[in-house]
Amino acid sequence: MTQTAATPAATLAVVRLKPKAEARAIRHGFPWVFIDEIVTDRRTKALKAGTLARLEDHDRRPLGLVAVNMASKIACRMLDRNPDAVIDVDWFKARVERALAHRARLYDAPFYRLIHAESDGLPGVVIDRFGDAAVIQPNAAWAEVHLDMLAEAVADVTGVSTIVKNATGRSRALEGLNEETLLLRGTLDGPIPVPMNGATYMADLLGGQKTGLFYDQRPNHAFAQRLCKDARVLDVFSHVGGFSLAALAGGAAHALAVDSSAPALELAKAGAEAMGQASRFDTRKGDAFAVMEDLAKEGALFDVVICDPPAFAPAKPALHAGLRAYERVARLAAPLVAEGGYLGLCSCSHAADLNAFRNSSARGIGRGGRRGMQIYSGGAGADHPLLPQLAQSGYLKALIFRLD
């Protein structure tokens, strides 16, 4: 059941760090406490997922107010450094107001990531704004418990009339939460047109992937767009046309979007039509690896090729296999680039850092029979702020090479 009232500080449970646990990291801004760092007994084991508690070090000195989930490896998420803070609608409003003030300075139109989890002081919470609508991803148990207050705060602060709950993805499974997508407030008549970098994207807030659109690539779309004047462009793992529609807005001669999702490609087509660029845009449905192999057999060449695959290495156990997959992407994509053309490679994997991803990409380019020089390295836009103490908040990596 969703909690709608504030939890009095006097009734809070207490969670304590083990003697050898590193309290210094918490004091210096690290937002998580792992399950093996806290004292576990019958009392703590009985705490329901999403329970609020006071966190103390082993000497019983207060560290802050946390949300607890004993079923997760991340047992505690720091909500407030004030252990006596009250989590109510006003508390949520203060967080949302602070986040909104930053985005309002960045963007002329209300299309952006409004809340980027820990970086914006709402651990495990992602909120993307689409004009008069917002999509909330409550990816941590505490956010699920307090969803009503969070939605109320978002509506009051931003003025949006439509709010969608998107409760899907790997993060919720790790928290022991179910999956569902539903309309919390307002109405939706269909996909929402989103202006970005001169292009128009169609975001399906109820049936699309994640929140309906990936805002994080905005600055990388903008840089790639500068390379696309009069160019033949291939956008692999395109989703709703991320790089290909940006390329058309930048004057590309033609763009081909490749994705395994027919609904995503239909949205890409609708975006091209809304831009008046349908005659210069094509799609190809299929497995990206197989399509790239087929294009090579056909002798196809492009001036700009961009590959933006899903997270092949979302966690450390998948790192080696993920890096091999990124290498394979580069190996198959490199031969499709015309001499002097550009190859863009992206990774949204938390476990693969920039050096590992760059090395895999370089190996793949070499195995593809090409030599490349890196001309660009980018990450997520400023509406996806990075929390310095939490490397996972800076997950996106985008590299562009010029091949000869």
Q: Judging by beta carbons within 10 Å of its beta carbon (0-12, 13-18, 19+), is residue 230 exposed, middle or buried?
A: exposed
Q: Phi, psi at residue 104, to the nearest 5°?
A: -65, -30
Q: DSSP letters of 93-145? A: HHHHHHHHHHHHHH-SSSEEEEEEGGGGT-TTEEEEEETTEEEEEE-SHHHHH
Q: DSSP letters of 264-280? A: HHHHHHHHHHHTT-GGG
Residue type, 383: D
Contact status, residue 391 vs residue 30, Cβ threshold 8 Å: no
pLDDT tens-digit map of 262-290: 999 999 999 999 999 999 999 999 999 99
pLDDT at 3 (0 to 100) = 46
For 205-403, CATH number? 3.40.50.150
> Strand pairing of 13-16 and 51-56?
parallel
Q: Looking at domain 9-80, what is its CATH homologous superfamily?
A: PUA domain (2.30.130.10)
pLDDT at 4 (0 to 100) = 47
Rounded distance between C-alpha atoms, residue 308 and residue 221, angstroms: 11
| Domain 9-80 identical in fold to domain 205-403 | no
Contact status, residue 52 vs residue 125, Cβ threshold 8 Å: no
pTM of the shown model: 0.94
pLDDT tens-digit map of 65-104: 999 999 999 999 999 999 999 999 999 999 999 999 999 9
CA dihedral of 146, 166, 351, 106, whole degrees rounded to 10: -90
For the chain, which residues make up each domain, given as ranges? 9-80, 89-185, 205-403
Length of the chain, please? 404
pLDDT tens-digit map of 211-232: 999 999 999 999 999 999 999 9
Contact status, residue 333 vs residue 292, Cβ threshold 8 Å: yes
Rounded distance between C-alpha atoms, residue 62 and residue 85, angstroms: 12
Closest Cα partner for 62 from 26, 19, 29, 20? 26
Residues 169-202 as b or e (16 or more Cβ within 10 Å = b): eebbebbebeeeeeebbeeeeebbbbebbebbbb
Angle at 83 between CA 78 and CA 87, to 5 degrees: 70
For 89-185, CATH number? 3.30.750.80
pLDDT tens-digit map of 346-367: 999 989 999 999 999 999 999 9
Rounded distance between C-alpha atoms, residue 98 and residue 104, angstroms: 10
pLDDT tens-digit map of 119-152: 999 999 999 999 999 999 999 999 999 999 999 9
